[in-house]
Structures are given as structure tokens and as C-alpha cells.
Structure 1
Amino acid sequence: MKAVRSQRGNTIIEFVFSMGLLLAVSVGVFQFGYAFYVYNLLENAVRAGARYASLRTYDSATATPSDSYLAGVRNVVVYGDPAGGQRPVAPGLTPAAVAVSVRMQDGTPREVRVAIDSYRLDAGVAAFTLKGKPYATFPYVGRFAPPT
């Protein structure tokens, strides 16, 4: 009987240590999954913005898009609507974090690239700053109407 009596508190101590480890692993897995979820939201938003940009009338004669073109594309990425909105698709996403570039060929737009630039993805334990990713590139198939 004496051997059992001296080991009475060991079970509680082992449980506390194993529960702490299990809790830490569970929180880490949850935060990792949340980071992937937010990144997936950003990928879908960038793709929608690039598709919108490839179909919208391009009203600039150079590779630098006009302010109205940029605003519309950025609003589609951030809010899902060219007119803008109140709630961004991802927490903390702003129009300033969206980069839009147009590749010209023979004086006409050929390709539109939309990317997330300088977005801070907070994964709980760690934070990542996304620069140029995610991105989407679409061939330009819209109407080219530079000012005359």
C-alpha cells in the first residue's frame, strides 16, 4: 500500500503538463488554419479584381492606369464592388494595399496584373507581411479607349 500512496499526485501533475502541451498545439493549428483561410480570401479577391480589370474599359494611353480605373479595380479587390463598401473581404485590407499594373504591347494593353502589396496577415503567434502575393494576371480583353 505504501507504494500507491506515494504516487497519488503524479496523475494530476502529468495531466496538467499534457493538457498544456495539447492546448498549445491546438491553438497553433487553429491559427495556422486561420492564416490559410485569410490567404484564400485574398486569393479570391485578387482574382476577382484582375478579372474585372481585364474586362473594364482602359482609358489611359500609357501603362499607368487612370485614377478611376485604379479605384474601381481596388474597390473590387477590397470590397467586392467597384463602387466601394464598408467591410473589406479580409480584416485590415485597404485599397492602398492593392497593386495594379498593366503591360502594354504595341501601344495597347495586353495584360493586367493585380497583387496584394504590403498587407499584414496576423496569424496569432506570428505575423507575415505579404508583398506581391497573392497575385493574378489576366489577358486584357476589354475596350481600349484612350483620351483623344
Structure 2
Amino acid sequence: MQRQRHNGRRRGSGLLEFGVAIGLLWLLFAGVYQFGYSFYLYNKLQLSVSNAAMFASMAIYDAGNPSKFDTAIKNMVLYGTPAAGTKTVVPGLTTSNIEIQLNPNAGLPTDITIRIKNYQVASIFAKYMLADKPRVTTLYIGQVICSTC
């Protein structure tokens, strides 16, 4: 029986292959983690905008003070409640990222569009922007009053 002799040039190749495999697996793990985190953030934003649209569709609209209505809706998107809170639904979201559009008919709102604009998601590899996503449009069925009329 002949014994095989190990060539000195092949020493440590297993360690090198292990290092390459760990590097590739780590990169794959980071990509899967980032995709999952981005998906989680988008779902949180979608739920927040949907809840704000449901609240806005039935809230009292004061034609004399529409900023109160807008502030309550923005707080619903930001904090999950009509009153201002301390912790936002997702990190980095501000009132400048929330756009509310009322479509009036004869001075009365008929439908409301709430959208997130220019929200930047910081990922491991790069930052990317959510422009006009998510967006919800709903009919307004609430009561209209005028406090200054």
C-alpha cells in the first residue's frame, strides 16, 4: 500500500475555504436582515398611515381652524395617537415627511389623501428613499364645523 504524501503547498487551504465561506455567509445574512428590516419598517409605516386615514375620515373638521385637523392626523401617523407623543412609530420620521391633501367640493372635504414623502431608510449597504410610499386615500364622512364663522 502506498501512502499519499501531502504537498506543502496545500497546507491551510481548508482554513482559507472556511474564511471565504464565512465571509459569503455573513454577507448573505446581512442582506436578508436588511431586507427584513426594510419590510418591517414599510409595514409599520403602512399601518400608521392606514390608521391615520381611518381616524381622519371620521374626525371633526373645523373649517375655521384646519391646522388642528392636520396636526391631529400628523400625530396619528407619527405617534399612533391624535395627541403628541414622545416615541415615533418608526425611527427618523418627522412631520415634514407627512403630507395631507384634502380634496374639497364646495369648500367641504370629500376625500383625504395621506402619504409619506421622502422618508430615508438607512440600510447596512446604502440609504434609500421612500417617495410617496405608503399612500392612502379615503372618503371623508365626518362632521364639518366652523369655530370662527
Amino acid at match of 2:94: T
With normalisation by structure 2, the TM-score equals 0.89
Shift of 1:130: 1.8
State which of 56, 81, 86 in structure 1 corresponds to 2:59: 56
Q: Deviations over 1:24-64 (max 9, x none)?
A: 11111101110110011000001111111111111127xxx
Amino acid at match of 1:105: N
Secondary structure in 2 aligned to 1:38?
Answer: helix
Counterpart Cα distance in 1 of 2:63 and 2:83? 20
Shift of 1:2: 2.0
Do structure 1's residue 16 and structure 2's residue 24 form an aligned pair? no
The number of aligned residues is: 145
Q: Deviations over 1:71-92 (max 9, x none)?
A: 1000010001111100000011
Residue 112 of structure 2 is matched in structure 1 by: 112
Counterpart Cα distance in 1 of 2:95 and 2:107? 28
Shift of 1:70: 0.9
In 1, are the aligned partners of 2:30 and 2:124 still within 8 Å (CA)? no
Counterpart Cα distance in 1 of 2:29 and 2:80? 33
Amino acid at match of 1:45: S
Shift of 1:4: 5.6
Greater Cα offset, 35-44 or 118-127:
118-127
Greater Cα offset, 4-13 or 94-103:
4-13
Structure 1, unaligned runs of 5 or more: none
Residue 102 of structure 1 is matched in structure 2 by: 102
Structure 2, unaligned runs of 5 or more: none
Counterpart Cα distance in 2 of 1:131 and 1:3? 60
Shift of 1:106: 3.3
Q: Deviations over 1:80-110 (max 9, x none)?
A: 1111100000011112211111111233211
Secondary structure in 2 aligned to 1:2?
Answer: coil
Amino acid at match of 1:40: N
With normalisation by structure 1, the TM-score equals 0.90
Residue 76 of structure 2 is matched in structure 1 by: 76
Counterpart Cα distance in 2 of 1:121 and 1:5? 50
Counterpart Cα distance in 2 of 1:72 and 1:107? 20
Larger radius of gyration: 2
